[in-house]
Amino acid sequence: MFTRNDYIRSQIWNAVSGLNEEQLNLKPTPDHWSIMQVLRHLNLMESIIAKQARAALEKEQTVAVDKKPYELTLDRSHSVSAPPHLQPPAEPETLANVTHDLEDSHQALMLVAQDHEAELLRSKSFLHPVFGEMDLAQWVDFASYHEERHLAQIKDIKQRLGVSHA
C-alpha cells in the first residue's frame, strides 16, 4: 500500500539532490514558496495525516465512505492555499533538519499503512477539507498524490530559479 508513497518521495529527493541550502531556500518570487518551504509543507502535511489517522484508529466507530476523486490533486491549474497549520515558516531552514523531519513523518505514515489491515484502514476515516470524509487507505494514497503535486511545483521552482543539479 505504501509503494507509491515511497516512489514519489524518492523522486522528490532526486529532484532536490545536488542543490545547496541557498538554492533550496531561495524563493522564485516573494509570494511563492522556496523548495525548502515546499519540503517543510510536505512534512507538516504527512505528520498531520499520520496523527489524525492514529486518532481515527483509536475510535470505536467504523464508517464506510465512498471513493473520493483525490487524484484531482495533481491538477495544478486549480490553486489551493494551505491552511495556516500547514504553512511552512518564512525563515530559512537547514536541509538536515527538514530531511530528518520528513523521514520521521514518512515513517509515521508508513507505520499507519503497514501495521493495520487494509479492511481496518477502510473502516476508519476523517475529514478532508476539499474531498470530504476519506477513509485511512484513501488518506495514505492521497498523501502520495499530494507529494506528486508538489514534486511538479519543485521542478517549476527549479526552472524559474534557473537551478539544476550541481
Would the pLDDT of 62 be above 90?
no
Average pLDDT over residues 10-14: 98
Predicted pLDDT at 64: 87
Q: What is the pLDDT of residues 73-103, one digit of tens each?
A: 999 998 888 999 999 999 999 999 999 999 9
Average pLDDT, the chain: 95
Q: What is the pLDDT of residues 26-47, one digit of tens each?
A: 999 999 999 999 999 999 999 9
Q: How many residues does the chain have?
A: 166
- Spatial distance between the Cα atoms of 121 and 141, rounded to a whole number of angstroms: 11
Would the pLDDT of 166 be above 80?
no
Contacts 24+ apart (CB under 8 A), 124-130: 124/53, 124/56, 124/57, 124/59, 124/62, 124/63, 125/56, 125/63, 125/65, 126/52, 126/53, 126/55, 126/56, 128/68, 128/70, 129/83, 130/80
Would the pLDDT of 165 be above 80?
no
Task: For domain 3-161, say whether CATH 1.20.120.450 is its number.
Answer: yes
Would the pLDDT of 164 be above 80?
no
Q: Where are the domains of the chain?
A: 3-161
On whether the CB atoms of residues 165 and 18 are closer than 8 A, the answer is: yes
**Per mean pLDDT, which range of 28-37, 89-98, 146-155, 157-166 is the poorest?**
157-166
Predicted pLDDT at 28: 96
| Alpha carbons within 13 A on the beta-carbon side of 34 | 21
